[in-house]
Structure 1
Amino acid sequence: MHEMSSTVNLRLKTCFHIQEIEAGLWNKIGREDAFQSYQWYFYAEKVMVDCRPFYILAYDNEELVGRATFYLVPSEPLPIQPIFLRNIAQQIFRRWPLFICRTPLAGLSGFVLSEQADRDEMLAKISSAALAQAREWKSSFLFFDFVEQELTLLPGWKPRFKSMMVSEPGTLMKLSSPDFESYISGLGKDERYHYRRIQRKAQELGIVVERHTSATDLDEALALIRKVEAKHTSTPVPWTRALLENLNLVEGTWLTARIENRLVGCGLALRDNGAQINTALGLADDVPYVYFALLYESLRLAFENNARLVRLGSGAYDVKKHLGFQVETNNYVMAASPNSALQRLIDRMA
């Protein structure tokens, strides 16, 4: 644990394990924000065991007013094509890891402030502390990930940090209907027909979607998940097995789709602080309608568990728009490097 005084009142403290922080203190800020609970971060440490966490806490006098969570990531699933370039990049980052500020496993910023916090001062102090940590740990690049455009424009950023836009933002939907049936009734005529058609076709094919409190058939499921990643030329997520094996640590539901004894689809719905995120999608290549059967069941789950919003990630934007999802606006990255040569590369790319 490291401490430093930044101003007369603002004091930063860095912790390296979530258990070094008292749960009640952590939950004082971000208590109503998606995937910001103490338990979520505890889960993430068990899942992302190869990523060293850094929790930078900001105090005004003795009051916690902000926090930023960073990970030293040697195995980031990078969206780099062609594959041989991706392999080269992965070898480099295993030697000089990325230092990333994010909410783990959720596609959200890891920079969380109380309403009383001075955002400019907090950005200046935390970004300076993060650069020092990145330099100490021989990181190649430092990223503040999933940043809203508004935040990129604040003057508190150190000059080294450059803004970059990510091409494929995530999607979310705020749930306003009292239940799933009301939500379906509120959709347009075409969307209601689509829902009924999916239900009918799934029944005709014998697709049965089931809910589980723990992950089942891991090897079969992982094979289907890798098929989806390969179809979209995505890098395999290295933490998927651990994500499923530690499901008992968080609120979540494992969904499977079967035709008789054959597993033809799967997905994980995780919930925290009134939000749900869908992940670990697996699909058989030769069976239609499974994706939507799983999606509709996951939305039913969200309503039953009183979720305020659902997040689905990127892609399939037209389909999601018709279902009521909106494109997120946190598709910016603030990038810097402790290495002067790599910093020049960032400056040219920005």
Structure 2
Amino acid sequence: MESEQIIKNIVYNIEKVIIGKRYEVFNIMKGIIADGHILIEDVPGVGKTTLVKALAKSLNLSYSRIQFTPDLLPSDITGISIYNQGAMEFEFRKGPVFANIVLADEINRTSPKTQSALLEVMEEKQVSEGNNTYKLNKPFFVLATQNPIESEGTFVLPEAQLDRFLIKVKIGYPEKKEEANILKRYRNSEPLNELTCIADANDILELQKKARKVHVSDEINEYIASIADATRNNKYLVLGSSTRASLALLRIAQASALINGRDYVIPEDIRENALLVLSHRVVVSALARANNFDSESVILDILKTVSVPKVK
């Protein structure tokens, strides 16, 4: 089966549970294919957790959910060594992070110390405990959720942590017609329990491998670099995008091209994914806030000013 058809089948399967959010689900699939972690930011009750569960079930991957709270300890995430009196040695008991898909629910409700414990796991895809290092199974993704409107009892995610997320996705409220369909479908059944497996770990790893092989011309590389440079020299931004952000934009563009059945990246792959990749990484200045500019509007303005290359 062609790569784009596998991806579409996965998305259509998830749509049996998450109704009217095809665009958002495709964006999450881009992040999966690009082998990155995803931050899902939205108000409670719009289906963030259900979406992640549907994804795990569609891909037949191991799944764990970590509810982040202020009293959560790093060992609650990564695991802990416990002394075995019979064997007279310490045994490492793996934490919930040892799964293919980890849902970090309300990640901004835990302390910076616990957040940093997740940092190595996300970046290195391994857990260090004492003198031992434990590799995580592939594929491995952290899908973290956070509520953007509540501030009480939350800890702001540091820039270093935000930079580890390949993209940020917003789910949003459904349209009135779609919400009526949700009520009808969920009236006397639980669609999540009826989902079947569409792909497996090997399919995802193969898609990731194919995405890495998608051709990127020198003109596209220069285009990404120009956008990054523009964020670092903009009066409305006090923190521009990092080199990691440029690499993320490259990876997500390759994934986008693969989903659209191409083996090469075009400028539109960069433009349509720039907000997903950059909006949570840049920090707006006081001047921007005074003019009611947010990070998304500044990035959109940058995209208008950076010349688009002609790719043969």
**TM-score normalised by length of structure 1:** 0.29
**TM-score normalised by length of structure 2:** 0.32
Q: Larger helix proportion, structure 1 or 2?
A: 2
Q: Larger strand proportion, structure 1 or 2?
A: 1
